[in-house]
Structure 1
Amino acid sequence: MAKYFPGIFILLCLVNPFLSAEVPSVTTALGTITGETKRVIFQKKTYDVDRYLGIPYARPPTGELRFKKPQPYGPFVEAYSATKFGLSCLQSFLIPILPAENTSEDCLFLNIYVPRQEPDQPSGHAIMFFIHGGAFLMGSGKIYDGGVLSSVGNVIVVTINYRLGLLGFLDIDNEKSSGNFGLFDQRLALQWVNENIGAFGGDKDRVTIFGESAGSVSVSLQMMFPQNEELFRSGISESGAIMLPGLYQENNIEVAKYHAEIMNCNVEDMDEVFSCLHSATPEIINKAVSDAVASDSMTTIVKLRIVPTIDGEFIKTNPADLFRKAVAEDCEEINFFRTRKLMNGVNGKEGAMLLLSLGPDNLDELEITREQMNTLQIPGALALVYGQRTVPEVVKQLLIAEYTDWKNPDDPKTIREELMRLFGDINFNVPAIEMSRIHSNASDVDSYLYNFVPVLDKHIFPAPNWINMSNHGDELGPVFGYNIDFEALLNISDYTPPEWELKLSERMMAYWTNFAKTGDPNKPVSDAVSSVVWPKYDVTSQSYIKIDREDSVGQYLFARETDFWKNSLSAVFDATEHVQTITSQYGSKDEQTCEKDGTCG
């Protein structure tokens, strides 16, 4: 448990109201760690929370450790002062959320927020371990201050950094660089928590991992890695399912070559490509990438996109194929996934964020023509979902028909709504429902599903004023009690949300922390929890909670869309392909039953 000692810090407290008269200190197996106490206010209630910031959990992944799995940091030589955030990992070129001077290759730090309250159980506080999003290219744990969530929910909150982009995921398909280092970083941070959180008053047997977008995908991937058996008992997946189409590659060889090419290195020999990337300073890599994007942004962004790969260790099989495989045979990854409790959800209009890819200066005035929809967007969607397979014309026509508002089929403003729906269904809605079906149909533990729909005062990502529900990422403010870095994300400071959003936030923090404590978002019952009982999700009733200004219970969330993509469209595709090629990529008809996975795919 945490210990406190007085000292010269009493003088500091006289001039800084955020510090208490004692300095929090813990003694771990690694040595002593000292932190700071901060006062936070939520809904006119004041709380004190102990913060331990910038704790290194891994050795700096620099020099010979670049493009290697992380190694434990080891013991501290002397008491470690954890009062400042560590530098964030090097960011992508896409959205400059963090200034370059605030980033470094030496970035593997975690932050711990401990409430100054008695834990809900004698074994200690439940732990919520957050993995930030950002397309595996950007983001930082320090953007999400866990102080309010920790205090209001009476849980320990942990946020982390993990390697991003080239330095986090380079896979050239050999032992020199096998990829997915960022995922192994996350796992090492989880191991650190498992071994040390007891000293902070935490219960290592009640760890819930949660994340948003790429962080949510990371949560799903960690839940599919059987070696994580002892590290957590549940996961919360916010707007990012493991079956996101087009996310995974076999390797990053072509991306590696392009990075080397823009740095004027030889790309004919992979040993020389690796040597070039391994020896380049972060400044050289960043400048080369930035210059390339500035000269030809859209084409270059595609060429430079680094994603998790099927490395044969952390990700052994493409998750989409893995779920199909689970229909007909026993699967270790799926079996482990089904032993963890799951809370999964999406926001109302997830596809609105992806409208940014169209590049208009003013999304409010965006219009899409019928020709653009039929000849560019629909084929692009099919390429994302089906990859290199030749798409029959009948499949394309079915997709056009599905994403057409037949009351006004040629209105550019109506078409943009359908395009947003298409983006949302492919990338978020259908993968989320498929994941919940897989989990709940053969699971001995509970599964919960939510749909977060309110239109908030501020969107996390730019969104047009014509969307009538929440955009991608909008739930983050309420989940963290609006204690996130709005200046970094939205370039605004001193933001105060409207009163109804604060009440919404109080309710959501209760749901999230209840789930971490008990595995049930409804318990323990409190004034903050809605009178609506959040039902468990199963493939028969498909019940879920709709989180809005007033919560309600619904059924069959995106069931029609999931059936269209996973059953109707796939059946037509496979039948047409069968006629043309005799065999199907996904095997015989018998392998498409609903025996185990609940998708009838």
Structure 2
Amino acid sequence: MGLWDQRLAFQWVNDNVDAFGGDPSRITIFVESAGAMSAHLHSLYPENRGLFQNVISESGTATFPFGVDRDHLPATRILAEQLECRTDTNEDIFLCLESVETKRFVDVLENIADNAVLAAQVLFAPSIDGELIVRYYKETIKIPDCDEMKFMRELNYINGVNAHEGAVWVPMLAANQNGSIDDIKVSKAVVSMFMPMMLGSMYPGQNIPSAVSDLIDYEYTNWANPEDSGAMDPNGDGPVTWPKYTLKTMQHLIIDEEDSIGQRLYTKEYQFGRETVPALLQAIENGGHT
């Protein structure tokens, strides 16, 4: 992501924006996807205090499973295997990666990008460095009085999602089928085919039994029309307002043809993905289920 480079950009803007008619006390970061993850990371780094005051963050947070990585070794090992390196020891991997010619490295990375399952496994995210990132962010947000959370609360922060975030996979699907993105029909069969890749991203480094994949596929099937791949749709009716988000109300604005107010956005889906599935995987690993 180049987080330190991004911070240099913030510093440059802060130092020079007034020369372009801007106000250094009213700097807004407006970002999407991986940029939204970066913005959340920067919003939890107290040394950024004063560099920006507002954040508009779409489709991404630092708490994504792949937002911060504790261990890059599994992805590195898979990459080394694809490069036909010895992987007996970490030193073997390091020496081989260091000796690979640039063109071969790029060719192999392109092949990985074209393979949905490998692309989800060979994923390198920011790591805990003890400075910009001092701990995993799911731990940070549980410490309301820590410096990171105090800084984030000082910012004006808008975070949003789209109703059909999964459409981000469609270009990869088109590439896999050697077709045009305009000709792709996203059916339940297609979603089921991509399920292992998506689970690899959500639960990196874990073995996902086929029964768990089937369970998740079952959970997101619209049984009134099983071929409907858009079973999740949060839209509803209501007045045009923008409620302030609080832990008590957990309200949000849904922007559509008719705007409405929602509450506890994707709570059921979050609990299923973050509690039910991990607990099931742990039980299988411990021999509690077969």
TM-score (norm 2): 0.72
CA distance in 2, matches of 1:333, 1:567: 25
Which residue matches 1:218? 38
Deviation at 1:212, TM superposition (A): 1.3
Secondary structure at the aligned position of 1:205 is classed as coil
Question: Aligned AA for 2:203?
Answer: Y
Shift in alpha-carbon separation, 1:297–1:223, aligned structure 2, 3 A: closer
**2:87 equivalent to 1:270:** no
C-alpha displacement of 1:257: 7.0
- Asked if the contact 1:323/1:334 (under 8 Å) is kept, the reply is no
Report if the CA contact (8 A) 2:36-2:58 is conserved: yes
2:206 pairs with one of 379, 386, 389: 389
Structure 1 residue aligned with 2:268:
560
In the alignment, structure 1 residue 316 sits paired with structure 2 residue 134: yes
Residue 242 of structure 1: how far off its partner (Å): 1.5
Aligned to 2:88: none
In structure 2, what is the Cα distance between the partners aligned to 1:391 and 1:365? Answer: 27
**Matched residue, 1:366:** 185
- What does the per-residue CA deviation read over 1:476-501, in whole Å, with 9 as the maximum and x for residues that have no partner? xxxxxxxxxxxxxxxxxxxxxxxxxx
1:348 aligns with one of 157, 163, 167: 163
Deviations for 1:419-474, whole angstroms, at most 9, x for unmatched residues? xx6xxx9xxx9xxxxxxxxxxxxxxxxxxxxx9x9xxxxxxxxxxxxxxxxxxxxx
- Flag the 1:218–1:329 CA change in 2: closer, same or farther, 3 A: closer
RMSD of aligned alpha carbons: 4.2
Alpha carbons of structure 1 residues 335 and 572: separation in structure 2 relative to 1, 3 Å: farther
Relative to 1, partners in 2 of residues 1:271 and 1:191: Cα closer, same or farther, differing over 3 Å? Answer: farther
Q: Percent identity?
A: 33
Cα distance in structure 2, aligned partners of 1:571 and 1:579: 12
C-alpha distance in 1 between matches for 2:286 and 2:140? 20
In the aligned structure 1, how far is the partner of 2:258 from the partner of 2:61? 26
| 2:76 partner letter | E
Structure with more of its chain in strand, by fraction: 1
User: Structure 1: which 5+ runs fail to align?
Assistant: 1-135, 137-181, 278-283, 430-450, 454-530, 582-601
Q: 1:408 to 1:295 in 2, by over 3 A?
A: closer
Once the two structures are superposed, residues 333-361 of structure 1 have per-residue CA deviations (whole angstroms, 9 ceiling, x without a partner) of 33332332210111231211212222231
- Tell me how far apart the structure 2 counterparts of residues 541 and 329 of structure 1 sit (CA, whole Å): 18
SS at match of 1:202: coil
The answer as to whether partners of 2:82 and 2:108 remain within 8 angstroms in 1 is: no
The change in CA–CA distance for 1:576 and 1:336 in structure 2 (over 3 A counts) is farther
Question: Of 121, 125, 142, which residue of structure 2 is paired with 1:307?
Answer: 125
Q: Distance in 1 between the 2:12 and 2:18 partners?
A: 11
Counterpart mapping for 1:357-506 below 5 A = 357-358=172-173, 359-360=176-177, 361-363=179-181, 364-366=183-185, 368=187, 370=189, 376-391=193-208, 395-409=212-226, 411=227, 414=228, 416-417=229-230
Which structure has more relative contact order (CA 8 Å, sep 6+)? It is 2
Q: CA deviation at 1:186?
A: 0.9
Residue type of the alignment partner of 2:160: G
TM-superposed CA distance for 1:202, in Å, is 3.0
Q: 1:393 Cα deviation (Å)?
A: 7.1
Tell me if structure 1 keeps the 8 A contact 2:144–2:150. Answer: no
**Counterparts of 2:122 and 2:210, CA distance in 1:** 31
2:17 aligned residue: 197
Instruction: Tell me what 1:254 maps to.
Output: 76
CA distance, structure 1, for counterparts of residue 170 and residue 210 of structure 2: 26
CA distance, structure 1, for counterparts of residue 271 and residue 79 of structure 2: 40
**Residue pair 2:37, 2:67 contacting (<8 A) in 1 also:** no
Q: Corresponding residue for 1:597?
A: none
Of the two, which has the highest radius of gyration? 1
Q: Report deviation, 1:566.
A: 3.2
| Corresponding residue pairs, total | 273
**Aligned 8 A contact 2:254 2:261 in 1:** yes
Cα pair distance change 1:232/1:354, threshold 3 Å: same
Distance in 2, matches of 1:258 and 1:271, equals: 10
Which residue type is aligned with residue 114 of structure 2? M
CA separation of 1:292/1:399 partners in 2, compared to 1, >3 Å: closer, same or farther?
closer
Q: Which amino acid aligns with 2:171?
A: L
Structure 2 vs 1, CA of residues 260 and 201 (structure 1 numbering), >3 Å: closer, same or farther? farther
Distance in 2 between residues matched to 1:324 and 1:229, nearest whole Å: 21
Q: Residue type matched to 2:52 in 1?
A: F
Match of 1:547 in 2: 255
